[in-house]
A and B are shown apart, each in its own frame.
Chain A
């Protein structure tokens, strides 16, 4: 199974900050990586597919990059509605696997 190591597991930031989350795959997954946002008590929401493609309707302050084994996810100018938990997910191989999540909290 491909292991997805996400870091940090949590972070505190202020509105307006730029935050970056990293996700490392245990083997080359090319760009077969998605990013999801999950707010408390809600289902996850797909934000970015194929490592860097923004889903329709997702604000431009969200971005993703990377390929192979190292990926990053950035929120520029953090907004109050962005406080949530974010997950990476690889789909290069079955079983699909998620990172452990990064909880973005208000400082």
Chain B
């Protein structure tokens, strides 16, 4: 089955860290660029990070630059998001999404909820 499954979300205190994972199945994972997109409760979509198939290029939104790191393990068909120095405004559902031809987000996971609160 073609799917993306996120994990690793949860409750964390401000200033804390969390590592999200996204497991891909049914796709040729190394061939695709991947992205993380988040959605704060009741709000719209915010793109936060991109990584190429061979992990040679990464981009970040200014809101997470210097705090979040995107990475991937093509041998494990997995995408990661290391989140440090978390803030209350990082509270959101985090989706991993496949970028067909870079920027067409044609496959999404169900998301994982990150709550930053004391």
A positions within 8 Å CB-CB of B: 1, 32, 34, 36, 38, 42-46, 49, 55, 87, 89, 91, 94-101
Known contacts: A34-B105, A95-B62. The answer to whether A43 contacts B44 by CB under 8 A is no
Question: Who on chain A is nearest to B65 by CB?
Answer: A95
Complexed CA–CA distance, A34 and B60 (Å): 20
Residues of A within 8 A of B44 (CB): 87, 98-101
Question: Who on chain A is nearest to B107 by CB?
Answer: A46
Question: Who on chain A is nearest to B47 by CB?
Answer: A96
Question: Who on chain A is nearest to B59 by CB?
Answer: A94
Question: A34, B111: Cβ atoms under 8 Å?
Answer: no
Question: B105, A46: Cβ atoms under 8 Å?
Answer: yes
B43-71 vs A, Cβ < 8 Å mask (1 yes, 0 no): 01111001000000001111000000000
Question: B105, A44: Cβ atoms under 8 Å?
Answer: yes
Q: Describe A's contact surface by its main secondary structure.
A: loop
10 CB contacts below 8 A, A to B, read A1-B62, A34-B103, A36-B45, A43-B110, A46-B104, A91-B102, A94-B50, A95-B60, A97-B47, A98-B45
Question: B46, A98: Cβ atoms under 8 Å?
Answer: yes
Residues of A within 8 A of B109 (CB): 43
The answer to whether B106 has its CB under 8 Å from any CB of chain A is yes
Question: B103, A96: Cβ atoms under 8 Å?
Answer: yes
Complexed CA–CA distance, A42 and B60 (Å): 24
Further 14 A-B residue pairs, CB within 8 A, beyond A95-B60, A100-B44: A1-B62, A34-B103, A44-B95, A44-B108, A46-B106, A89-B47, A91-B103, A91-B104, A94-B50, A94-B59, A95-B59, A96-B35, A98-B44, A99-B44
